[in-house]
Amino acid sequence: MKRSHLEEQNIAERPSAYIPMDRRQSIINRRPLPDRLYGAALFADISGFTPLTEALTRELGPQRGAEVLTQHLNHVYDALITELHRYGGSVMGFAGDAITCWFDGDQGHKAATCALQMQEVMNLFKLIEVPSGQTVSLAIKIAVATGEVRRFLVGEPNIQVIDVLAGATLEELSAAEKQADKGDVILSPHSYEAIGDVVTVREWHTDDNGQKFAVIAKLTPPAAETPWEIPAEHLFTTEQTRPWLLPPVYERLQSGQGEFLAELRPGVALFLLFDGIDYDHDPEAGKKLDEFIRHVQHILNQYDGSLLQVSMGDKGSYLYAAFGAPVAHEDDTVRAVSAALGMRNLINTLSFLTNIQIGIAAGRMRTGAYGGTMRRTYGVLGDVVNLSARLMQAATSNQILATQEIADEVYEQFVWESLPDIKVKGKTDLIAVATVKTHRQNDLRLQEPQYKLPIVGREKEIAKIKGRLLEASGRYGQILGVTAEAGMGKSRLVAEIIQQAYSYGFNGYGGECLSYATNSSYFVWQNICRGFFGVDSNLPVEQQIQQLEDTLAEIDPSLLPRLPLLGAVFNLQIPDNDLTRSFDAKLRKLSLESLLVDCIRIRARQHPIFFVFEDCHWLDPLSHDLLEVVGRAIADRPVLIIMAYRPFTIARLQEQRINQLPHFTEIPLTEFSPQEAEQLIHLKLKSFLGHDSAPPPELVEQITARAEGNPFYIEELINYLQDQGFDPQDLSAFEQLELPDSLHSLILSRIDQLTETQKSIIKVASVIGRLFRALMLWGSYPQLGEFEQIIENLEILSRLDLTPLDTPEPERTYLFKHVVTQEVAYENLPYAMRAQLHEQIGLYIERTFAINLDQYIDLLAFHYERSRDEDKKREYMLKAGTIAQNGYANEAALSYYQRVLPLLVITEKGPIMRRMGEVLQLVGRWKDAGELFEEALSLAKSLNDTQGIAWAQADLAEHLRKQGQYEQAAEMLDQAKESFALLDDAAGVGQVLKTAGTLAAQQGNLDKARTLYTESLDIHRQLQDNENIANLLSNLGIVARFQGNYDHAQALYEEGLAIRQSLGNKSAIANSLNNLGVLALHLNNNET
């Protein structure tokens, strides 16, 4: 009975359909399959799909052609697999237009009977009619081999597990298949030996080794049917089925989109042949194959490639991977070659491997899910796939062989060697090939910006810049602050400074602040430091750390113990060592700043350096601190710092800090004069017109009047005219053209000229930020369409100079040319749409970077704060505040806490208010801190929160003590002690006694301090709180020293030191040693 399309789709969306049938039975019955089996293997190869593909593409176009092609492929496979399941067979894997199957326990009789039935059903597809009325013929050849096999389940479950058959029987199967012709069912020698008495042979085929293969005419009798009972989908759990599919494929199935949209898309196919595993005789063969496949999967995962097949044959073991499906990237070729280099290197990592050969080819391929309704796969098929396999076979040992087209496309990223053209099976013409050697080293130095037009005006500013450059090159470090409102040409002048600096022999490094990174610690320094230290972010983390270590050793080997501190500015997790492990947040910050200053000063002795900081009006607090420290340290070094910024609106950036340094020079930019504006208009129109004739004066006047001296206005206005196809010589047309009156309306008018898809891209991108990755755009709002379509539209927007390409790799990234374009697009979105998009971007980040999510907390806080997801808004803002506070980014912590406080339920506010109080104390805002502690106490009392009351009293008492308000502090400590006692909170009482002891010591009452410290010590000994025990011993030692009891002081110090040494807290150990040193110095002075 023919199923409806809906029924077929529902069946196709079953994850279990991607698992071999006998493995499904094993899962349901909880009976593991052994790794050594006896039975019959069947290989069925369909021919005719290549001409069918060409015909459908020619007549229907690539997209519709791919859809129809997949329908035909699925109908064929559905018929073949139905026959297979009738006889108890299982599809082990799909390899192009072919399937490998297994009949467990069969000597070949069932497999051969099934093969003949498959040939019968192929008569249904002998002639396929295409829309033009022409016909294409499909056919099949089938081979059967009998014997023992090894069966392995390999792969990383979090990526995909793969069922693999291996061993000599598979080699026999491959040899038999090579002797078969279309329409044949052929038996291997062992199969004929096992079932020859029921076989009528039509003819014999002999291979080059003299082996004979029987082509079956009929079987007498045929084997009886032994159909599978198909397990219902509800019998499988998610944990059982998910590992069998690539994650993107599984997600599509779960979302109800199991019928993938078939398409012909460009992609890259990679085939890899590997040797070194003896499947038949090595008991460790399965373990070795699994280890190898997992390594391959992790390399592919790094570059977003997909492992699609693992197969065994007479020529060795091989695997097939694809780039561009199911997830496409503009730089899939770069990714594929990078992955190939990583996989080739496995021969040095895995000792059992003896050979690796890799072939790579790129072109249009059929992608999507295909197969029968009862057994499916996700695949990438086509002529380019076959070519890649041929190149793999032609490669020499440990060689990566690619088409010359690939080498030409990614020549700048890799070192290539062209080879003589080769002849491959299935191709009439010779194939031009090349072999890749290694990555080409990227130049991490800041590149000189390229502008089509020369700089206009700014003569006075450039003269001043040259003077400061001269001073900097003469070892008198300088800081330049280029400041102006949006659109005044800051970036253009900075580009001029960069060119000038290079002409003076400087080396340059640059970074850019982003609007959503104002609380992301050291954000702008990350790119600068990668360039300065030569750390390539494309490499694995371990290699990046090694690059960093090598550079630091080159600068000064004595700095190496402080290497882990650099993790903060590289956004890398570098394990702490014995020196850095005990550093608290403040010490880490100060030591990091000192380390970077040392590195810059040492490097500057060898060569002049300049640093560029773009958009400093979005500078995060720790970047600001570091910039100030470096700025102070370069006064006697050949270093130039260039800052570009709009007038500061963030309060903390308005403080007079860097701009108060004696070697700081601010360069403000104002509107162009009429003469300068006219000059720019002439240059821009000349570029637009393509000839030297002067534009009509009336046009120049009109543009000048509308632009009001703003360079960006001028450029965008002329871009707008160009987009409209306006002829500058047609003044009558110009008079009818309604030009925008302001920058906002100008940008909006220009956006309105775009297609609906392009307008949507601009809007979604504006929510991501000024700098946005194409993958994030697509991943956050897939409604924009296929990734290829998004890239095409982004390229159009780039050519229109709205969002030019910023970074081609590792992820294709675009940039709003001017931030005001992003701001206008964002501000004109309805709030509801903005909130929805922010939430979708947040979800994308969580999903994509789940493993290292801590690195993206600031970004998640930024997006969820602007979403309607109140739970995640609170969650990430609190996390971001905590991380900022622990990292001594005090201003950022305060900002987060202040913004999240109104969102909290009243019972959650107290602890956050106390945290804010702690931070306010650190930045010297004592009055504000005290008010917050008072407010937290009042709130706790209103809620009758006894725990909150106690801790608010303790915090307020500590605050009063630090402020010298001893009497009030003592009263509050008594209240806190009473509150903790009522709660039977020993730790709280101990904390209060400790604070009271310090208060008494400050007031000169040492006996009382000793008594209070001793009481606190007794409590903490009962609690086995060693850290506080050591702290109190230290405090008691200080009291004893002041009271002249030196022997007792020494004993207390030494006891505390021993505890701190056992805890490994180096900062505390240093404190104890310092106390002992002060005591020894005091005793020595008394003796003399």
Is beta strand 90-94 parallel, antiparallel or unpaired with respect to 36-47? Answer: unpaired
Indicate the range of 343-357, 509-523, 690-704 predicted with least confidence. 690-704
Instruction: Say if 428 falls within a structural domain.
Output: no
Instruction: Using the 3D structure, point to which of 641, 668, 695 is the last residue of a domain.
Output: 668
Is beta strand 98-104 parallel, antiparallel or unpaired with respect to 90-94? Answer: antiparallel
Predicted local confidence at residue 261, as pLDDT = 38
Q: Looking at per-residue confidence, does 1034 or 1066 come out higher?
A: 1034
Asked if 336 and 270 count as a contact pair (C-beta separation under 8 A), the reply is yes
- Over range 142-167, report the average pLDDT: 96
The count of structural domains within the chain is: 5
Residues 917 and 807 in one domain: no
Instruction: Say if 878 falls within a structural domain.
Output: no
Instruction: Using the 3D structure, point to which of 687, 709, 742 is the last residue of a domain.
Output: 742
Best CA proximity match to 1009, nearest among 1025, 1033, 993: 993
pLDDT value at 747 more than 90? no
Asked if 613 and 490 count as a contact pair (C-beta separation under 8 A), the reply is no
Residues 595 and 711 in one domain: no
Q: What is the CATH number of the domain that holds 808?
A: 1.10.10.10
Residue numbers of the domain that contains 300: 5-394
Token digits of residue 47: 């021919």
Residues 625 and 706 in one domain: no
Residues 6+ positions from 69 with CB-CB distance below 8 Å? 49, 52, 53, 56, 262, 366
Token digits of residue 507: 């080396």
**Range from 111-120, 538-547, 550-559 that averages highest in pLDDT:** 111-120
Instruction: Using the 3D structure, point to which of 619, 634, 668 is the last residue of a domain.
Output: 668
Confidence tier at 456 by pLDDT (50, 70, 90) = confident
Predicted local confidence at residue 1041, as pLDDT = 87
pLDDT value at 903 more than 90? no
Average pLDDT of the chain is 86
Instruction: Say if 177 falls within a structural domain.
Output: yes
Instruction: Say if 851 falls within a structural domain.
Output: no
Q: What is the pLDDT of residues 264-316, one digit of tens each?
A: 566 899 999 999 999 999 999 999 999 999 999 999 988 889 999 999 876 67
Asked if 778 and 304 count as a contact pair (C-beta separation under 8 A), the reply is no
Confidence tier at 712 by pLDDT (50, 70, 90) = confident
Instruction: Say if 365 falls within a structural domain.
Output: yes
Residues 687 and 797 in one domain: no
Indicate the range of 33-42, 349-358, 885-894 predicted with least confidence. 885-894
Instruction: Say if 749 falls within a structural domain.
Output: no
Please state whether the peptide bond connecting residue 248 to the residue before it is cis, i.e. omega within 30 degrees of 0. no
Indicate the range of 18-22, 485-489, 567-571, 767-771 predicted with least confidence. 485-489
Q: Looking at per-residue confidence, does 434 or 456 come out higher?
A: 434
Q: Looking at per-residue confidence, does 716 or 1036 come out higher?
A: 1036
Residues 728 and 766 in one domain: no
Nearest 5 degrees, angle CA 599-CA 601-CA 602? 65
Residues 731 and 761 in one domain: no
Residues 466 and 376 in one domain: no
Instruction: Say if 442 falls within a structural domain.
Output: no
pLDDT value at 1002 more than 90? no
Cβ atoms within 10 Å, residue 423: 11
Residues 796 and 932 in one domain: no
Cβ atoms within 10 Å, residue 988: 21
Asked if 1000 and 965 count as a contact pair (C-beta separation under 8 A), the reply is no
Confidence tier at 509 by pLDDT (50, 70, 90) = very high
Q: Looking at per-residue confidence, does 189 or 904 come out higher?
A: 189
Q: What is the CATH number of the domain that holds 222?
A: 3.30.70.1230
Cβ atoms within 10 Å, residue 175: 21
Is beta strand 414-422 parallel, antiparallel or unpaired with respect to 609-614? Answer: unpaired
Q: 């052994």: which residue's tokens?
A: 34
Q: What is the pLDDT of residues 724-734, one digit of tens each?
A: 667 666 655 55
DSSP string of 166-228, one letter each residue: ESHHHHHHHHHHHT--TT-EEE-HHHHHHHGGGEEEEEEEE-TT--EEEEEEEESSPPPP-PP
Residues 648 and 515 in one domain: yes
Residues 759 and 784 in one domain: yes
Q: What is the CATH number of the domain that holds 925?
A: 1.25.40.10
pLDDT value at 954 more than 50? yes
Q: Looking at per-residue confidence, does 103 or 454 come out higher?
A: 103
Residues 6+ positions from 1058 with CB-CB distance below 8 Å? none
Instruction: Say if 901 falls within a structural domain.
Output: no
Residues 707 and 657 in one domain: no
Predicted local confidence at residue 488, as pLDDT = 80
Residues 6+ positions from 1006 with CB-CB distance below 8 Å? 1000, 1039, 1042, 1043
Q: What is the 3-state secondary structure (H, E, C) of 481-538?
A: EEECCCCCCHHHHHHHHHHHHHHCCCEEEEEECCHHHCCCCCHHHHHHHHHHHCCCCC
Q: Looking at per-residue confidence, does 626 or 655 come out higher?
A: 626
**What percentage of the chain exceeds 90 in pLDDT?**
41
- Angle between helix axes 890-900 and 870-886 (nearest 10 degrees) is 160
Distance CA 316, CA 752 (A): 58
- Over range 369-394, report the average pLDDT: 89
Q: 């082996």: which residue's tokens?
A: 211
- Over range 858-876, report the average pLDDT: 91
Residues 507 and 644 in one domain: yes
Q: Looking at per-residue confidence, does 639 or 256 come out higher?
A: 639
Q: Looking at per-residue confidence, does 906 or 412 come out higher?
A: 906
